[in-house]
Amino acid sequence: MPFSDYKTALVTGASSGIGAAVVERLCREGIEVHAIARSAGALKELAERTGCIAHVIDVTDRAAIADLANLVQFDILVNNAGVDRPKKFLQADAEDIDLLIDVNLRAVLHICRLIVPGMVARDRGHVINISSIAGNYNFGGNSTYHAVKAGVAMLSNQLRIDAFGKRVRVTEICPGRVATDIFNHVHGNDPSVRERFIDGFELPQAADIADAIAFAISAPVAVNIGHMEITPTLQVMGGLQTAKPETPAATYDAEGAKR
């Protein structure tokens, strides 16, 4: 559907980065955008700059999300809020696992539960789930993040099945590395973090992701753009590694006794 067929949007994790860029892009299309984040100051500035409607809400606050969903019939939902605690699973903390599940997966499930049925009833709507290449490819040291993003990927596929027969479109956006401040949120506000992840690299900007989302939304009603991977040209996924064992493997005799 063109943007003229949609009136309202909900964007989570809207205070900075991709979320803020999406809010700006949708506001330029004349959409009434409701922006959700925990940072009151950043949301206030975003609202003054774009005209969006700011809501200081944690995405894990089901009651607050439900109250908003009862007040507004949303035509567009952008599930963007997310956190990360990079760590190998062998050293995972219980609190980190719970946080990633609560914010990156459970909140997405509940927000979709509260909003998508209304889209189906009205025969109109578009769900944008921001996942990650981590949901489709493996790389070291981020096991829980991979798991929850894979869950978002499967949810995106399943939503299309559950809404089959209605004009409810679902798009999964899978970014690779993007030049945003998420790396500072994860690794701390040290200049070395920017040097490690951003400086010297040719990276997509948050606005590039927002433009891709706008492209998917503005497609004709007969077109569902289901999955988009957006990575730097100079970034690839995958690779093969083979390790030598630290100690020789044990051997056993015919009776199963260790030699």
- The burial of 222, by beta-carbon neighbours within 10 Å (0-12 exposed, 13-18 middle, 19 or more buried), is given as exposed
Which of these, 138, 162, 154, 6, lies nearest to 75 by C-alpha position? 6
Catalytic residue among 6, 137, 145, 252: 145
Nearest-angstrom CA–CA distance, 197 and 82:
18
Nearest-angstrom CA–CA distance, 30 and 181:
27
Nearest-angstrom CA–CA distance, 159 and 82:
20
Q: Which two tokens stand for residue 136?
A: 């489709």
Residue 249 burial (CB count, 10 A): 5
Which of these, 159, 65, 73, lies nearest to 118 by C-alpha position? 73
Q: Which two tokens stand for residue 164?
A: 């089959």
How many residues belong to the chain? 259
Q: Is residue 137 annotated as a catalytic residue, yes or no?
A: no
Nearest-angstrom CA–CA distance, 150 and 131:
8
Provide the annotated active-site residues.
Answer: 145
